[in-house]
Structure 1
Amino acid sequence: MTKKIPIAILGTGNIGTDLLIKVLKSSYLECVAFVGRNLNSSGMLRAASLGVNISDKGIIYLEENKRLYDFVFDATSAKSHLINSKVFSKLKKKVIDLTPAKIGPMCVPSISVSDFVEHGNVNMISCGGQASIPIAYAITNFGKDDVEYIEVVSNIASRSAGPATRQNLDEYISTTEKGLSFFTNAKKVKAILNLNPAEPAIDMQTTILAKLKKTNLSEIKSNIDKIEKIVKTYVPGYKVIVGPLIDDSRVFVTVKVKGLGDYLPSFAGNLDIINCAAIAVAESSAKKYYGK
């Protein structure tokens, strides 16, 4: 590949800024517009210091400069994306959605990489979804077995949950549950998110409980080992730390996600995992449509 794909990032908070640093390290992507509303925000100042083109005109800037970029990462909020997606559709711009807006097809790279170039808008679900769905998928024999119930509890550091994350809590729960149900065929699902104020800050940990009609520990462990290795190819800090444990028909697994520390502290694995997943999707399409 001789030329990087020009992309824009809409949203300059914690997720958007960490995403920017990851894009700057990519061999396939180039950020040509980092767009938000406040030129004095920490994200904007960081981008400016790195020589990245910035704007505080929000989506209006992307409308006025549509020839500048090929596709967009939307790192705003679920409510904002409902509006933004209509604008991008009108502009015929492709979008990777990092909010829990549930508009495009859901994507978990370790299971399937949704083609955002083909679909126009793909959804990265949520941080808890990216952490839990691969394991839930493996426990349920890659979505083939009859699953009675799945419950997921994610614990993240309060300091890693910015304003957009807190505003999106209802959407986070519903989108995570929808993703769990879609990828595992579970009849009943439940997602819980706990913000932990402990100091020093905790790493992200997610516990998955699945109730199956039948269980096979050796098969489940083999499946989990396989999926963990795949996730680690794009999220190096992803690790199974407990399980799988089986109690009657219930399976328990806990994973920890340690961030790369590109922009935020390493304990913010919840932000790191969804950004790493988004980069994996973008680079997959870059290789497919633009060559290596």
Structure 2
Amino acid sequence: MHKIKCAIIGSGNIGTDLMIKIMRMSDILEVGAMVGIDSTSDGLQRARGLGVATTDQGINGLVALAGYSDIRIIFDATSASAHKRHSEILIADGKQVIDLTPAAIGPYTIPSVNLDDTVDAQNVNMVTCGGQATIPIVAAINRVSHVVYGEIVASIASKSAGPGTRANIDEFTETTATAIERVGGAERGKAIIILNPADPPLIMRDTIYCLCEEANTDKIRASVIEMIEEVKAYVPGYRLKQDVQFEHIGPNNPLHIPEMGRDFTGLKVTVFIEVEGAAHYLPAYAGNLDIMTSAAIRTAERLAMKRNWTEEVY
């Protein structure tokens, strides 16, 4: 099997974790280049120390690298605004783009939910760390009982949020909310992110609230647990923090949904998730890095196999 060369644009927390994870864990991918704009960044320095080709000239520097033509897959871990320009250049050059920003140019991709539906796209979007952690749960509930409204709260350690993440807060909430609807299946989605400054840093926590039609609670619980196992296959630190919670909301005391301008009666399902990182770069509290980079690698490996790139003779 031939390894597929890839490049990473963005030498911050996500890009660096992605590089280390590929080098340690992937039998299919090979890091061919690390791209940044700050020659002193930890990510670029680590890449040089590991023998990876680097450039601090951004996308232009990547295109100018001698080995650029051999690179098939590009991971973009910069910002939503920067990705728009990057995508245009890379798609014109025939590269496969995996977008780890909230730019949402390509289809939203959650490996445990809709990976086979999106891997034919030249640019796929990995939504957000909060989306990767919570949308599988919304989808798991929705496949048993239609979700009218889905709201998620993602709490991550402040120390795990680099400049790119902080610059994308608005895009995070908008992209995640939209993906809750398009991938999770909810009629209406809402997303909230909390950067927790606690010291020592807390492990990533996610809370998912779903208002859905009345249904068998045992079936919903079983669907959630099944989905958790599917995510754990590529994110081992992903786990249910406590038992799934149910609340029946009757017509005598309906719940008003301001975002939808309507009252709701039915079933409220609450799920608490914890994501412990593999500590490939930042410590284990940075589950937000781990779930994002793990999902991106899962997607890249799946599309490489589907297109038989690993069987080609160079």
The TM-score range, normalised by the shorter chain, is over 0.9
SS of corresponding position for 1:274: helix
Partner residue, 1:194: 194
Distance 2:27 2:282 in 1: 22
Partner residue, 1:221: 221
* 1:263-282 → structure 2 map (5 Å cutoff): 263-282=281-300
- Indicate conservation of the 8 Å contact 2:147/2:211, yes or no: yes
Partner residue, 2:252: none
Amino acid at match of 2:187: K
Which sections of structure 1, spanning at least 5 residues, go unmatched? none
Partner residue, 2:78: 76
Query: How far apart are residue 62 of structure 1 and its match?
Result: 2.4
SS of corresponding position for 1:205: strand
Deviation string 1:249-268 (CA, Å, 9 cap, x unpaired) is 10000000000000111100
SS of corresponding position for 1:81: helix
Query: How far apart are residue 50 of structure 1 and its match?
Result: 1.1
- 114-123 vs 209-218, which moves further: 114-123
Distance 2:54 2:118 in 1: 24
- Indicate conservation of the 8 Å contact 2:141/2:147, yes or no: no
CA RMSD of aligned residues (A): 1.4
Distance 1:113 1:234 in 2: 13
Matched positions, count: 289
Distance 2:287 2:70 in 1: 31
Deviation string 1:26-76 (CA, Å, 9 cap, x unpaired) is 111111111111121111111111111111111012222431311200011
Amino acid at match of 1:189: G
Amino acid at match of 1:122: V
1:106 paired to 2:108: yes
Query: How far apart are residue 291 of structure 1 and its match?
Result: 4.6
TM-score of the superposed pair, with normalisation by structure 1: 0.95
Partner residue, 1:91: 93
Distance 1:139 1:223 in 2: 7
Partner residue, 1:31: 31
Distance 1:56 1:92 in 2: 23
- Indicate conservation of the 8 Å contact 1:63/1:91, yes or no: no
Deviation string 1:175-197 (CA, Å, 9 cap, x unpaired) is 00011001233222110001111
TM-score of the superposed pair, with normalisation by structure 2: 0.89
- Indicate conservation of the 8 Å contact 1:148/1:186, yes or no: yes
Amino acid at match of 1:51: G
SS of corresponding position for 1:151: strand
* 1:1-292 → structure 2 map (5 Å cutoff): 1=1, 3-25=2-24, 26-65=26-65, 66-114=68-116, 118-141=120-143, 145-248=145-248, 249-288=267-306, 289-291=308-310
Query: How far apart are residue 107 of structure 1 and its match?
Result: 0.5
Which sections of structure 2, spanning at least 5 residues, go unmatched? 249-266
Query: How far apart are residue 102 of structure 1 and its match?
Result: 0.7
Distance 2:15 2:116 in 1: 21
- Indicate conservation of the 8 Å contact 2:108/2:183, yes or no: no
Distance 2:138 2:286 in 1: 22
Query: How far apart are residue 287 of structure 1 and its match?
Result: 2.3
Deviation string 1:196-235 (CA, Å, 9 cap, x unpaired) is 1111100000000001121321001110111111100100
Deviation string 1:234-286 (CA, Å, 9 cap, x unpaired) is 00000011231101110000000000000111100011101000000111122
SS of corresponding position for 1:76: coil
- Indicate conservation of the 8 Å contact 2:3/2:310, yes or no: no
Amino acid at match of 2:184: T
- Indicate conservation of the 8 Å contact 2:136/2:184, yes or no: no
Amino acid at match of 1:285: L
SS of corresponding position for 2:110: coil
Distance 1:18 1:85 in 2: 22
- Indicate conservation of the 8 Å contact 1:106/1:114, yes or no: no
User: Cα distance 1:116–1:216, how it changes in 2: closer, same or farther (>3 A)?
Assistant: closer
